Amino acid sequence: MSTIATEPIGSIPRPAYLQKAMQAFDKGDIQADEMSDLFEKATKETIEALEASGSPVISDGEQSKPSFATYPIHGLDNLSGDGVVIPFADGHTRQLPKLTSGPFHYQNFASEYLKTAKRFTKLPVKQAVISASAISLLYPQEGIDGYSHEQFIADLIREAEADIRRCLDAGAYNVQIDFTEARLALKLDPSKGMLSSFIDLNNQVLARFTPEERSQIGVHTCPGGDHDSTHSADIPYSELLPLLFKLNAGNFYLEYAAEKDKKSVLQSIKEHISPNQRVFLGVTDVLNPRIETPQEICDLLVEASEYIPVAQLGSTDDCGFSPFADDISTAREIAFAKIKARVDGTKLAGQKI
């Protein structure tokens, strides 16, 4: 019998009462202190539900995060709304803000979400942070008078390091860097120049941590799920993985359940993973409402163990269930049912391997 690690990715759809309260707050019908109390209530309920699923590692479900991508800059006054546009396969888009002046700094740090979550559980708590490469897209192509791109990158690396370090210092079990733009970079630039620059930037951040600290730092990548659509699922994983494993991180959380050609993914992982890296394969398809059975998840992991040493194998979900604060596309109860199936299926696989 082997023990296979399993962890959540992050976001869980918010309960209906919190969704309504957030709409009321935007209209000025609810005060900030009442909103804060409701965020805490939803966080506590989410953690209790994760504990009930048997999850050995907990997240806060991103109940109070405005977005996985833009939480550090929420509330900054030197932004405009006309930044980089992210197109999805179904035709909808998401648009990032754009920096209008310097210097750049984070307004919010992920460690605050972690501290709240740790009050409600004794289990290990992981915390997700956004990648430096995603935030780098805020700098406008036309530049900013009096604030060079070089200055911006230096400030960004400092702030991205601080975001991770604060989480580690606050007792995070591990820190997950959300690098969902990796596959999109290949779509926007097939020469791989953009992806290589993203990896270099993230490695500059990771270089500021010791090997022991990097063993607690992981990277999540997926084809960008939002409203049950993706921005880069048409890009073969085999194009991404050889470069992805050049990131100097200890853990990798990979979308996998929704992949059609799974054996080629496993083969690419086998060829490029380093001995000190662990891969958490997504075994639940977050864009499909059908709840996987534990046996299906077990079968995925048993097959994966033929390519990846068990000591380097873990399971996770393909992505968060509401990464862009989309609390409608996936029902909250379905998210928890999928998580329980993942936990149970992972235990079953450990018994069989």
CATH number at residue 61: 3.20.20.210
Strand 251-254: give its sheet, edge to edge: 5-6, 313-316, 278-282, 251-254, 217-221, 175-178, 127-130
What are the C-alpha distances in Å from 110 to residues 81, 156, 174?
23, 15, 12
Q: How many CB atoms lie within 10 A of CB 101?
A: 12
Q: How many domains does the chain have?
A: 1
Displacement of CA 144 from its chain's centroid (Å):
30
Owning domain of residue 65: 5-352
How would DSSP label each residue in 261-292? Answer: -HHHHHHHHHHH--TT-EEEEE-S-TT--SPP
Q: How do beta strands 79-80 and 98-99 pair?
A: antiparallel
| pTM of the model as a whole | 0.95
Output the pLDDT for position 209: 98
Report yes or no: 126 and 8 within 8 Å, Cβ to Cβ.
yes
Report yes or no: 58 and 128 within 8 Å, Cβ to Cβ.
no
Secondary structure element (H or E) that encloses residue 178, with its range: strand 175-178
- Look up residue 87 and give its DSSP letter: E
User: Using CA atoms, how far apart are residues 164 and 177, in angstroms rounded to an integer?
Assistant: 9
SS (H, E, C) 126-166: CEEEECHHHHHCCCCCCCECCECHHHHHHHHHHHHHHHHHH
Output the pLDDT for position 14: 96
* Amino acid occupying residue 302: V
Q: How many CB atoms lie within 10 A of CB 156?
A: 23
C-alpha closest to that of 252 among 265, 236, 234 = 265
The pLDDT profile of the chain, 353 residues, written as one tens digit per residue, is: 679 999 999 899 999 999 999 999 999 999 999 999 999 999 999 999 999 999 999 999 999 998 888 999 999 999 998 888 888 877 888 888 999 999 999 999 999 999 999 999 999 999 999 999 999 999 999 999 999 999 999 999 999 999 999 999 999 999 999 999 999 999 989 999 999 999 999 999 999 999 999 999 999 998 877 777 778 888 888 899 999 999 999 999 999 999 999 999 999 999 999 999 999 999 999 999 999 999 999 999 999 999 999 999 999 999 999 877 778 889 999 999 999 999 999 999 999 99
User: Using CA atoms, how far apart are residues 194 and 257, in angstroms rounded to an integer?
Assistant: 26
